[in-house]
Amino acid sequence: MSQQVVGCAGLHGQQLCAKVTVEADTPPSRTGVGRGEGDGRGAQVLVVESEQGAAESLVQELRRHGYPAESVSTGAAALREYQGVDLILLDLDLPDLDGLEVCRRIRAANDVPIITVTARSSELDCVLGLQAGSDDYVVKPFGLRELMARMEAVLRRARRRRPAGPVVTYGPLHLDSGKRQLLLEGRLVDLTPKEFDLLYQLVSQPDVTLSRRQLMSEVWDDDWSHRGRTIDTHVSSIRGKLGSSSWIVTVRGIGFRLGHP
């Protein structure tokens, strides 16, 4: 059985409606992710790190905290070994391939959670990492507690993936959550997983201004940090891919709402 929920917003003299079709009893879109219960412990982690000492130390700590972990030291090895793991911790400075390229290749084929763990600390580096498909970005040196908290948040999001089936239409936008696909006037638009989730939140509630805290909670499952310009980076990228900054309106001091070009 399916249920339709319709929300409308008046913009620029037009009435645009978002129609959500929810199919009942549909399976999750992700399988085999986050085998550990509760806080994520028990999830299989692949550490991609070129420095042997750092890799061994991190793997040892992860195992001590209940995460079965293995490491590889090259991008080529990561591309061979990532299948079947629950989470990837990816360094960007690898001896054979740039970590961003490794991230893009994995993301093109799989939605396994990826946390970039790197010494590249500029805002541009963070933007490029997120745009490549990373779910989170941690700068070295890092505290183990913070890294594990971010791992647990990413794994929680993976476990609670929205059921396949909900479809949202708003004007020329058509988002299919089951296929993780966005069509704009019938044209396929390539979004990263987080970009899709953020836009889905806005399109499914077209008459609502969503606060930054709401978006961090719903998209990143994170209520405890502001995460710098994470949301702004993703919003900017979505606007560029949709071809107009007017698609997402910044409401100063509050957050964001859906607009129209």
Q: What is the 3-state secondary structure (H, E, C) of 164-210?
A: CCCEEEECCEEEECCCCEEEECCEEECCCHHHHHHHHHHHCCCCCCE
Based on the domain organization, do 146 and 169 belong to the same domain?
A: no
Structural domain includes residue 114: yes
Residue 194 lies in a domain: yes
Greater confidence, 29 or 171?
Answer: 171
**Phi, psi (5° rounding) for residue 126?**
-65, -45
Of 159, 178, 211, the last residue of a domain is 159
CATH number at residue 24: 1.10.10.10
Task: Enter the tokens of residue 104.
Answer: 């893009």
* pLDDT value of position 147: 94
Given a cut of 60, whether residue 193 has pLDDT beyond it is yes
Q: Which positions ≥6 away from 239 have C-beta within 8 Å? A: 245, 247, 248
pTM, full prediction: 0.57
| Amino acid residing at 82 | Y
Mean pLDDT of the 169-188 span: 91
253 part of a folded domain: yes
User: At residue 31, does pLDDT exceed 50?
Assistant: no
Q: Does one domain contain both 132 and 144?
A: yes
Structural domain of 196: 2-29+163-258
Q: DSSP string of 113-135? A: -EEEEES--SHHHHHHHHHTT-S
Number of domains observed in the structure of the chain: 2
pLDDT for res 228: 57
Strand partners, 54: none
Mean pLDDT over the full length of the chain: 82
Instruction: Give residue 183's region: left, alpha or beta (phi > 0; psi -120 to 50).
Output: beta
Residue 228 resides in a domain: yes
Where among 135, 159, 183 does a domain terminate?
159
pLDDT, tens digit, 9 for 90 and up, residues 86-126: 999 999 999 999 999 999 999 888 889 999 999 999 999 99
Amino acid letter, 10: G
Say whether both 155 and 63 belong to one domain: yes
Is 195 buried (19+), middle (13-18) or exposed (0-12) by CB count in 10 A? buried
pLDDT of 80 > 60? The answer is: yes
Residues 50 and 149 in one domain: yes
The answer to whether residues 114 and 103 touch, using CB atoms and an 8 Å cutoff, is yes
Residue 38 is assigned to a structural domain of this protein: no
Do 184 and 251 sit in the same domain of this protein?
Answer: yes
pLDDT on residue 84: 84
The answer to whether residue 25 is domain-embedded is: yes
The answer to whether residue 6 is domain-embedded is: yes
For residue 67, is it left (φ>0), alpha (ψ between -120 and 50) or beta? beta
Decide if 39 is inside a domain.
no
End-to-end CA distance of the chain: 35
Domain of 150, CATH number, reads 3.40.50.2300
Say which amino acid occupies 259. G
Residue 58 has what pLDDT? 96
**pLDDT at residue number 76:** 96
51-65 average pLDDT score = 95
Cis preceding-peptide flag for 141 (omega within 30 of 0): yes
More confident residue, 48 or 155: 48
Is pLDDT larger for residue 216 or for residue 164? Answer: 216
Residue position matching structure tokens 């030291």: 73
- Same-domain pairing of 181 and 154: no
Same domain, 52 and 150: yes
Please check whether residues 119 and 171 belong to one and the same domain: no
Residue with tokens 């129609």: 19
- Which of 98, 133, 159 finishes a domain? 159
What residues does 184 pair with on adjacent strands? Answer: 173, 187
Q: Are residues 214 and 150 in the same domain?
A: no
Are 18 and 60 members of one domain? Answer: no
Check whether 225 has a pLDDT greater than 90.
no
- 184 and 140 in one domain? no
